[in-house]
Structure 1
Amino acid sequence: MPKGSATPWSYFLIRLLFKFVLKIFYGTIVVEGTENIPEKGKPCIVCANHSNSLTDALLLVASIPWKRRNMLRLTAKSTQFGKKTFTSWLIESAGTVPLQRRKDFEDGRVDNTEVLLKLMEALDMGDAVCLFPEGMSRYHPSLAPLKTGVARIVSDVLTRHRDDPNFEMSVLTCSITYMHRQHFRSDVLVTFHPPMKFTPKNNPELLAPTDYNNIRALTARIHQQISSGTLDAPSWRLIRIAKLAARMYAPIGTQMSLGDYVRIVRTFLQAFKLAEASLTSSGTDGEDEGRAEDSEILKLGIDLQGYQDQLVRCGIKDDRVRKPLPRQTIVYRIIIRLAWSVFLFSISIPGLLLWVPVFITTFIAVRTFKRTGPVWDTYDEIAQYKLVYGFVSGLCVWLGSMLLTLPIAPITAILVPVAMWMSLRWLEDAISAFRAFTALSRLLLVGDARLEEMRKTRADLHARVLHLAVNTLGLPDAPEKHFAEVGGRQKGRVRGRWANSAKYFSVRRRRKRDWNETLRLYDKVDYPGDEY
Structure 2
Amino acid sequence: MPSPAMAKGTPTPWPYILIRLLFQFTLKVFYGTIVVSNAHFIPETGKPCIVCANHSNSLTDALLLVTSVPSNRRNMLRLTAKSTQFGKKTFTSWLIESAGTVPIHRRKDFDGPVDNSQAMADLMKALEAGDAVMMFPEGMSRFHPTIAPLKTGVARLASDVLSLHRHDPEFEICILNCSITYMHRQHWRSDVLVTWHAPMILRPKDNPELLKPAEPESIRAVTRQIYEQISSGTYDSPSWHLVQLSKLAARMYAPLGTKMSLGDHVRITRTFLEAFKDAHEDNSEENQQVHSDVVEMARLQSDLKVYQNRLMSYGIKDDRVRRPLSRHEILRRMAIRLFWSSFLFSISIPGLFLWLPVILVTVYAVHEFKKSGPIFDTFDEIAQYKLVYGLISGICVWLGGVILTLPFALITVFLIPATMWMTLRWMEDCVASTRAFFTLFRLLRVGKRTLNEMRSLRDVLHRKIMELAISLELPPDPEEFFLQAGSQEKGRVMGAWQSKAGYFSLRRRRKRDWNETLRLYDKVDFPDDDS
Pairwise CA distance, 1:301: 1.0
Pairwise CA distance, 1:248: 0.3
Instruction: Summarize deviations over 1:179-232 as a string: whole Å, max 9, x none.
Output: 000000000000000000000000000000111001011101100100000011
Letter in 2 for 1:390: G
Aligned residues: 525
Letter in 1 for 2:311: L
Aligned to 1:405: 405
Aligned to 1:37: 42
- CA distance, structure 1, for counterparts of residue 141 and residue 243 of structure 2: 19
Instruction: Summarize deviations over 1:374-431 as a string: whole Å, max 9, x none.
Output: 2222111000000000000001100111111111112111110011000000000000
CA contact (8 A) 2:491 2:512 kept: no
* Partner-residue secondary structure (3-state), 2:174: strand
Aligned to 2:463: 463
| Structure 2 CA distance for partners of 1:492 and 1:166, relative to 1, 3 Å | farther
- Counterpart check, 1:475 vs 2:478: no
| Structure 2 CA distance for partners of 1:228 and 1:332, relative to 1, 3 Å | same
Aligned to 1:46: 51
Pairwise CA distance, 1:290: 2.1
- CA distance, structure 1, for counterparts of residue 500 and residue 10 of structure 2: 46
Aligned to 2:81: 76
Aligned to 1:379: 379
| Structure 2 CA distance for partners of 1:530 and 1:501, relative to 1, 3 Å | farther
Letter in 1 for 2:508: R
The correspondence of residues 120-131 of structure 1 with structure 2, limited to 5 A, is 120-131=124-135
Aligned to 1:367: 367
2:213 to 193, 209, 226: 209
Aligned to 2:250: 246
- CA distance, structure 1, for counterparts of residue 214 and residue 388 of structure 2: 43
RMSD of Structure 2 on Structure 1 (CA): 1.4
| Structure 2 CA distance for partners of 1:493 and 1:312, relative to 1, 3 Å | closer
Instruction: Summarize deviations over 1:434-493 as a string: whole Å, max 9, x none.
Output: 0000000000000222111111000100000000001x20101000000001146x6678
Aligned to 2:513: 514
2:223 to 208, 219, 225: 219
The correspondence of residues 107-506 of structure 1 with structure 2, limited to 5 A, is 107=112, 109-279=113-283, 281-282=284-285, 286=286, 288-470=288-470, 472-487=471-486, 496-497=494-495, 498-506=497-505
* Partner-residue secondary structure (3-state), 1:335: helix
| Structure 2 CA distance for partners of 1:475 and 1:59, relative to 1, 3 Å | same
- CA distance, structure 2, for counterparts of residue 57 and residue 347 of structure 1: 36
Unaligned runs of 5+ in 2: none
Given the two structures, how large is their TM-score scaled by the length of structure 1?
Answer: 0.97
- CA distance, structure 1, for counterparts of residue 505 and residue 332 of structure 2: 26
Letter in 2 for 1:21: T
Question: Structure 1 vs Structure 2: percent identity of aligned residues?
Answer: 63
The correspondence of residues 517-532 of structure 1 with structure 2, limited to 5 A, is 517-529=516-528
Instruction: Summarize deviations over 1:19-62 as a string: whole Å, max 9, x none.
Output: 01000000000000111001111000000000000000000000
- CA distance, structure 1, for counterparts of residue 126 and residue 500 of structure 2: 48
Pairwise CA distance, 1:373: 2.2
- CA distance, structure 1, for counterparts of residue 307 and residue 529 of structure 2: 16
CA contact (8 A) 1:257 1:493 kept: no
- CA distance, structure 2, for counterparts of residue 376 and residue 343 of structure 1: 41
* Partner-residue secondary structure (3-state), 1:41: coil
* Partner-residue secondary structure (3-state), 2:162: helix
CA contact (8 A) 2:258 2:492 kept: no
- CA distance, structure 2, for counterparts of residue 484 and residue 494 of structure 1: 10
- CA distance, structure 1, for counterparts of residue 434 and residue 529 of structure 2: 26
Runs of 4+ in 1 over 6 A off after TM superposition: 490-495
Aligned to 1:105: 110
Pairwise CA distance, 1:495: 8.2
Aligned to 1:55: 60
Pairwise CA distance, 1:159: 0.3
Instruction: Summarize deviations over 1:309-348 as a string: whole Å, max 9, x none.
Output: 0000000000110001110100111111111111101111
Unaligned runs of 5+ in 1: none
- CA distance, structure 1, for counterparts of residue 298 and residue 85 of structure 2: 44
Pairwise CA distance, 1:494: 10
